Structure 1
């Protein structure tokens, strides 16, 4: 039986869904705009043989804490793992969550048995990454986020229900959600709306939260650039959808994989949001990694 749990962090708490199970611990970390519910289609493929927790990052889902620095959202994962008392968990991250699990490992704050990064890579050198991150902080980019994803929307109760059902209705032709179970789209959309003190609902994250996670000093030891993989010594599996964000950079992804032993590249059909559109296939990849961790 799944249950909601919380972890105290600076500025509030992180929410998570504890799905139970036994065996190899697995922490599931969503991407920007999503929340713990994004993994609901994958969890049945991991239970009961794995101990599974899915977390809401800062500013997302039911977590009360928000980000004031770019590092907080990935440093929190160390707090979660420590609070759970886990030793050598399998860390799985999608999109921004893929960088989060990579960064907390690169910083030495968690020593996972293995990493699984699902279309959540950093492939540029530091100067190029800095320019890209700066572009995300422009007024034009902020407006595009509001228009495309509804970040920061404030809805009354009636409009809240309409917004959720609108997202479900357009999912079959949506560039991210096409192929996802409507119930899964509804669950993620519902968890992204949190009531405020006036009784209205805020679509989380808001744009300032996204902006807060896109800055990093160019000389930071752990930086969202390709050199972060030089710090990864545990087994690393990269899941690369053939129509995802990084499909056109497959050669660069392959170079990251070839740079150290214990790394593999798994190609899957589908777009960026394979955790929701191809949950069975992603669950099979996670099970395979966990089996190798246990047998190794």
Structure 2
């Protein structure tokens, strides 16, 4: 059983699920649109030999803090590690969380024993990345995100519960969740709404479009930027998990180049789509355990 915990950060708090355990500490970081519950099946497989905490990023899950700048969400991870009193933890991130654990390490705010990146890479140079980030802030992309994932939906308790159950009903054929435990999908969907209703009595599906936009306004001259040069700043071991049907499968040669760019880096190929954290948790947990043993 996990325990709800929270951490004070500028502008509010970060919520997290503390799974307990002993041994090498592992911080699990979700991607955009998910939350700490997404790691439930992975965390179960890391216990009891690891101390495991999964965090809700700003603007996600039950965290009350929202992003005002593009760096806050990954800088917060250093606050969490310090508050837990951890030294040399494993930082493991999926999707956007993969960049978050990379960035906080590149900035020197945390000195992890190793970083695990699960289909969460940045492969473009700064000008190309800037163009892609700008596109994510377009009105068209915002509408696509609302339609596909319900970001920013405001629903009272009845429609909220119906929306959650609709996500569960789609599991067998869903392009992201097919193969996942329906109860895990239910937990993630439920946690994606604010813990308390807003003044109008509605629960808000997080993240909002404004949260997504804020995290993509990274200036090109930032010391740590969501572009391929960030890996030059990371000296600790890195393991990259690359699903064969994930977001970066078609760019495997570039991913392999990152893995080959420094000693103590490894590329692990897995079968599955982008959401392997939920659809193939045993395989992901095995990679994390291997990474922990290697350091």
Shorter-chain TM-score bucket reads: over 0.9
- Please give the alpha-carbon distance, in whole angstroms, between the structure 1 residues aligned to 2:25 and 2:198: 34
2:20 and 2:199 mapped to 1: Cα distance?
32
Matched, 1:244 2:246: yes
Deviation at 1:200, TM superposition (A): 1.6
1:204 aligned counterpart, secondary structure: coil
After superposition, the C-alpha distances for 1:146-172 in whole angstroms (9 at most, x for unaligned) are 001000001111101110000000111
1:264 counterpart = 2:271: no
What residue number does 1:281 align with?
Answer: 283
Equivalence map 1:1-296=2 (5 Å): 1-194=1-194, 195-293=197-295
Give ranges in structure 1 of 5+ residues lacking alignment: none
Question: In 1, distance between residues paired with 2:163 and 2:142?
Answer: 20
Helix, strand or coil at the partner of 2:77: helix
TM-score, scaled relative to structure 2: 0.98
* In 2, Cα distance between equivalents of 1:276 and 1:116: 16
Q: State the alpha-carbon separation in 1 of the partners of residues 173 and 12 from structure 2.
A: 37
TM-score, structure 1 normalization? 0.98
Q: In angstroms, what is the RMSD of aligned CA positions?
A: 0.6
**Residue 198 of structure 1: CA displacement?**
3.0
The DSSP-based 3-state class of the residue aligned with 1:59 is coil
**Partners of 1:146 and 1:126 in 2: CA distance:** 27
CA distance in 1, matches of 2:105, 2:123: 17
**Runs of 5+ in structure 2 lacking a partner?**
none
Q: How many residues align?
A: 293
Quote the offset at 1:58 in angstroms. Answer: 0.1
State the alpha-carbon separation in 2 of the partners of residues 49 and 77 from structure 1: 22
Deviation of the 1:139 alpha carbon: 0.5
User: What is the CA-CA distance between 1:201 and the residue it aligns to?
Assistant: 1.1
Q: How big is the shift at 1:197?
A: 2.9
Q: Deviations over 1:108-154 (max 9, x none)?
A: 00000000000000000000000000101110011111001000001
User: 2 CA distance for matches of 1:247 and 1:151?
Assistant: 26
CA-CA distance at 1:292 after TM superposition: 1.4
